[in-house]
Structure 1
Amino acid sequence: MSDAVPHDRQLTEARWTHIALPTGNLDAAIDFYTTMTPLVVVERFSDDAGESAWLSNEKQVETPMVLVLVSFDQDRGESLGLLQPFAHIGIEVPRREDVDAAADRARAAGCLHWEPRQMPGPVGYICALTDPDGNVVEFSHGQDVFALVRARWGSGS
């Protein structure tokens, strides 16, 4: 990762950029998120306290949001899930079938937390998975979080 940030890409106002979760097994967590979700590894880091990785949607330039996975040496091998039983990371997908596909992958991997179900508005059609630490990751269709926020502040489509 380059230390120099081009001036036109620098932060100009406070904004939400990431959520950090501890993990007892960084490689297993990275494998889960890069296999079961649309996230990819942006960068990996290590220091004398442990390792971490930044994950985001590939080429998400306009409004980057990062999942920071942190594995402290003292916590290796521990299950450190914080987001459970309902607290979760939400991933919105464009089609109902994408929720079903996520559930199928999770069922096959033994990490399906909620079977797909239609919920009343504004929740929509959802399912959820659990990562290797027990954190819940929700997939939703029809929740329209992305569209509502963009419409509210005029970001268009």
Structure 2
Amino acid sequence: MPTELTEARWTHIALPTGDLDKAIGFYTSLTPLVAVERFKDADGESVWLSNAHQVETPFVLVLVSFSKDKGEKLGLLAPFAHIGIEVPKREDVDAIAAKARELDCLHWEPRQMPNPVGYICALKDPDGNVIEISHDQRVFDSVRALWGRQPS
């Protein structure tokens, strides 16, 4: 049974894609995202992607492929605008970068950046959107720590 919503919350980002299957393949093979649900109607198709079993704080990337845009390259996030995904280990960044390099979709080589950025690389999805993969960026932990503090 759904819990009652008592405050507004951040739930998803939606991006258009010209090839839904290709985009799903990209995200499910190069990021920790999995397909949660897929939908189809008269206007086209969409998919919800999220971290597997992320129940406490789900966040969804919605990919939408409108029939009228099939085959078009519809990237909106570039050259620096991006979606950020944090991975547990520095080696995860290197492994994802190596796979992206083989697939010719590595946008930024892995590099250590000053705090608070951490160790990062970036990929380009099939539509040209930039996806940052980071380790030790701690965006999630930092926000939780800030909100967890009691006002003085």
TM-score by length of 1: 0.92
What's the RMSD between the two structures over aligned residues?
1.2
Q: What secondary structure, in the 3-state scheme, does the structure 2 residue paired with 1:106 have?
A: helix
Q: Structure 1 residue 44: deviation in Å? A: 0.4
Q: Structure 1 residue 120: deviation in Å? A: 1.2
Amino acid at match of 2:26: F
Q: Structure 1 residue 11: deviation in Å? A: 2.6
Aligned pair 1:34/2:46, yes or no?
no
Deviations 1:49-78 (A, max 9, x none): 000000000011111100000000000000
Aligned pair 1:133/2:127, yes or no?
yes
Distance in 2 between the 1:124 and 1:63 partners? 23
Name the counterpart of 1:105.
99
Distance in 2 between the 1:14 and 1:37 partners? 27
Distance in 1 between the 2:85 and 2:70 partners? 27
Q: How does 1:1-157 map to 2 (within 5 A)?
A: 6-7=1-2, 9-154=3-148
Distance in 2 between the 1:44 and 1:135 partners? 21
Deviations 1:110-140 (A, max 9, x none): 1000000111111111100000000000011
Distance in 1 between the 2:148 and 2:86 partners? 20
Q: Structure 1 residue 143: deviation in Å? A: 1.1
Q: Structure 1 residue 20: deviation in Å? A: 0.2
Q: Structure 1 residue 149: deviation in Å? A: 1.2
* Segments ≥4 residues shifted beyond 3 Å: none
Give unmatched runs, 5+ long, in structure 2.
Answer: none
Give unmatched runs, 5+ long, in structure 1.
Answer: 1-5
Name the counterpart of 1:3.
none
Q: How many residues matched?
A: 149
Give the % identical residues.
Answer: 74
